[in-house]
Amino acid sequence: MQPTRIAVTGSTGLIGSALVRSLRSDGHEVVRLVRRPAQAGDEVEWDPQRQYVDVGGLVGCEAVVHLAGAGIGARRWNDAYRKEVRDSRVLGTAAIAEAVASLDTPPRVLISGSAVGYYGDTGDRAVDESAPPGDGFLPKLVVDWEEAAAPAEEAGIRTAFPRTGLVVARKGGAWGRMFPIFKAGLGGRLGSGRQYWSFISLHDEVAALRHILDTESLSGPVNLTAPHPATNREVTEAMGRALHRPAVFAVPAPALRIALGELAEDVLGGQRALPTRLLESGFSFAFPRIDDAIGAALR
C-alpha cells in the first residue's frame, strides 16, 4: 500500500499500538480515535456509548481499522460486565460503520475487529470461516458485533472481520498475564488441558491486518490464527520449555468456575480455528507454531 491516511480505534491496546507503530514506520499518516476531546493533531474524538464520531476527522482516510472493545478477560464476568463487553463492541462498531458510510468519499476498506469466539467450543473439530456460529454468550456477541458493521457494507465499503485468536505477546492481553506466572514456576494446564487454543503471534497479527488492508479480495470473516492450533497442555509445555521452568501445576475446572464465573466455560472450552482464507490469499506466517510464537514474544 502506498503511504496514505488510516484511522485506528483501540490504538492504545496491545494490537492497536503495534499496528500504529508498523503503519507509521512505513510512512502512513495514522489518525487515532480517542474517547475524550482531541488534544493532538493526530486525534479524533469519538464516544462508542453515545455512538458519536467526529466525522470530519475521518475525511481523507483510505482505510479505517476498528479494534476498540472492553477486554474479554479483564474482569470476572457478571451481568453488568457482560453488558459492558457487548455494548463496547456492538455500539462502537455501529458508530464507526455509520460514520464511514456517511462520508461523501468513504474509505475503501473497513477492518472491523472480531474473534474466534464466534465458533464456540469446537472440541477437537477443526473449523474455518465457512463454519456456523456456536452456542452461548460469546458466539452470539460476535454475530451481533459483525452485523453492526452492516451500514459500511451497504455503502459499498469493503468490510473485513479479522476473527483473532489468543495473541501471544510478552506484555498486554491474556498471554502477557501468563508470562510472569510461568516465569515464577507456577504455570500449568487449565482443566483437562485438552481444549484447543487458537493463537497468533503479535508480529503475525499485525502483518495479517496489513495484508487484509492491501488485499482487495479479502472481505467478510478472516481467521487471524496460526495454522497449527495447540492444546492448552501443549501451550503449557511450550511455556515451560521457553522459560526453563517446571509447569506442573494444574487448575481444576471447579476452581476456574469459582474464580472466573461464566468466563470459565470459555477457558475450559476452545476453538481449533484454521486460517484458511489468509493462507489462500497468499499470507505467510512468520511464527506458525506455538514454540515459534512464544520465542518471538520473548525476543
Mean pLDDT in residue range 20-30: 97
For the chain, percent of residues with pLDDT exceeding 90: 73
Residue 3 or 69, more confident:
69
| Identity of the amino acid at 8 | V
Query: Which residues are 7's β-sheet partners?
Result: 31, 64
Residue 280: CB atoms within 10 A of its CB come to 11
Residue 31 has pLDDT above 60, yes or no: yes
Q: 193 with 169: CB under 8 angstroms?
A: no
Residue 76 has pLDDT above 70, yes or no: no
Q: What string of DSSP letters covers 79-138?
A: HHHHHHHHHHHHHHHHHHHHHHHHSSS--SEEEE-EEGGGG---TT-EE-TTSPP-SSHH
Enter the C-alpha cell of residue 79: 451481568
| Identity of the amino acid at 44 | V
pLDDT of residue 15: 96
Mean pLDDT in residue range 225-229: 98
pLDDT (tens digit, 9 = 90+) per residue, 145-158?
999 999 999 999 99
Going by C-alpha positions, the residue among 286, 292, 281 that lies closest to residue 234 is 292
User: Which of 42-51, 71-80, 150-159, 177-186 comes out lowest in average pLDDT?
Assistant: 71-80
pLDDT of residue 68: 95
Residue 73 has pLDDT above 90, yes or no: no
Q: How far is it, in rounded angstroms, from Cα 54 to Cα 66?
A: 15
Q: 164 with 115: CB under 8 angstroms?
A: yes
State the CATH number of the domain containing residue 229: 3.40.50.720
Question: CB burial class (10 A; 0-12, 13-18, 19+) of residue 278?
Answer: buried
Instruction: Name the average pLDDT for the chain.
Output: 91
Q: How far is it, in rounded angstroms, from Cα 295 to Cα 137?
A: 33
| Identity of the amino acid at 138 | L
pLDDT band at residue 74 under the 50/70/90 scheme: low
Domain assignment of residue 116, given as a range = 5-298
Cell 508498523 -> residue: 22
pTM, full prediction = 0.94
pLDDT of residue 271: 93
Q: How far is it, in rounded angstroms, from Cα 80 to Cα 283?
A: 39
pLDDT of residue 172: 83
pLDDT of residue 254: 66
User: Which of 127-136, 181-190, 195-204 comes out lowest in average pLDDT?
Assistant: 181-190
Going by C-alpha positions, the residue among 241, 292, 298, 267 that lies closest to residue 174 is 267
Q: 14 with 202: CB under 8 angstroms?
A: yes
Q: 226 with 287: CB under 8 angstroms?
A: yes
Residue 206 has pLDDT above 90, yes or no: yes
- The tally of domains found in the chain comes to 1
Residue 30 has pLDDT above 80, yes or no: yes
Q: How far is it, in rounded angstroms, from Cα 263 to Cα 261?
A: 5
Helix axes 202-214 and 14-25, enclosed angle (nearest 10): 60
pLDDT (tens digit, 9 = 90+) per residue, 253-288?
665 565 556 555 665 678 999 999 999 999 999 999
pLDDT (tens digit, 9 = 90+) per residue, 83-125?
888 999 999 999 999 999 999 999 999 999 999 999 999 999 9
Residue 39: CB atoms within 10 A of its CB come to 9
